[in-house]
Amino acid sequence: MYILASDYDGTLNRGGISEPVREAIASFRAAGNLFGIVTGRDYWMYDTVVRENLSIDFILAMSGAMLIATDGPRAGEILRVERQDDNGCMRWIVEHVGNRYGTQVSTALVRDRVTFHAKVPEGNEKYAPLSRLDADSPDGIRAFTQMNTYCETDELARRCAAEINERWGDTVNALQNGCCIDIPPVGIDKGEGVARYAKMMGVPFDNVYCAGDHMNDYSMIARFHGLAVENAVPELKAAAEGVFPDIAAMIRFIMSRG
């Protein structure tokens, strides 16, 4: 049995999912293998899978922090989820990102998502008041599964992620994804999420393949048999075992192992 764990945006979905890719996934699964999505998106990635009529075996959402069943009677059920205590990091991150880079920060705990902006401290119809991040707030947010933000350019996002990790690396793991930043708990990344899933399913790591396009995929590309799409960033291509035009080509390569 093989596992193929694929990033979604820019890897599996590049302006849509072609029929040859869908057929390849179906053949891969029919042969007794497991195919799933590993994404920085939150729980509602499951709704996208349903809407896209994708038949897959699992979703690892929030950069590996959440495992969602996608097949059978438990489809849509959260099978595992991380919960990280705030430790004061959320307010610092919201204020740092908002004041230095001018952008919002969303924080998600399991299914619930709240968005803040340092430049709208009292909140409005779009943003929650920053007081919800205070330790003594009656409706305060005390923990997170993942935070997300973005910057105007990839380089600014790289710099911002490094600043977050330098200050709060004992609590979070800020991962650059193009101009976006996904911020799961410390110790969590896509590679760790895939590793836990493989152990749960009893699949040897040598039978695990991962597909990606950007540096937030690096942990799984480097840890397992890493495959990059042609539109991947150069650093990811250099770390991968091969570069392929699409998921269908990757599946043909994996199945050729026998």
pLDDT digits (tens, 9 = 90+) for 45-88: 999 999 999 999 999 999 999 999 998 999 999 999 999 999 99
- Mean pLDDT over 111-138 rounds to 95
Q: Is the pLDDT of residue 258 over 90?
A: no
- Strands 175-177 and 180-183, by their bridges, are antiparallel
Residue type, 182: D
Structural domain ending residue among the three candidates 150, 183, 216: 183
Residue type, 184: P
Range of the domain at 162: 84-183
- Mean pLDDT over 202-222 rounds to 98
Question: Are 20 and 138 members of one domain?
Answer: no
pLDDT confidence of residue 10: 95
State the total domains in the chain.
Answer: 2
Strand partners, 35: 4
Helix (H, G, I), strand (E, B) or coil at 241: coil
Q: Quick one: what percent of the chain has pLDDT higher than 90?
A: 96
Question: Are 39 and 114 members of one domain?
Answer: no
Question: Are 161 and 201 members of one domain?
Answer: no
Q: Which residues contact 150 (CB under 8 A, 6 or more apart)?
A: 103, 157, 179, 180, 181
Structural domain ending residue among the three candidates 132, 167, 183: 183
Question: Are 158 and 109 members of one domain?
Answer: yes
Whichever domain contains 105, its CATH number is 3.30.1240.10
Cα torsion angle, 156, 113, 185, 228, sign: negative
pLDDT confidence of residue 257: 87
Among 224, 193, 192, residue whose Cα is nearest residue 211: 224
Question: Are 69 and 90 members of one domain?
Answer: no
Q: Are 146 and 39 in contact (CB under 8 A)?
A: no
Task: State pLDDT tens for residues 89-123.
Answer: 999 999 999 999 999 999 999 999 999 999 999 99
What is the pTM for the complete model shown?
0.95
Gyration radius (Cα) of the chain, Å? 18
pLDDT confidence of residue 139: 87
Q: Please identify which residue in the block is written with the tokens 């005390």.
A: 142
Structural domain ending residue among the three candidates 162, 183, 204: 183
Residue type, 222: A
If pLDDT is split at 50, 70 and 90, which confidence band does 129 have?
very high
- Strands 66-69 and 105-109, by their bridges, are unpaired
Question: Are 163 and 193 members of one domain?
Answer: no
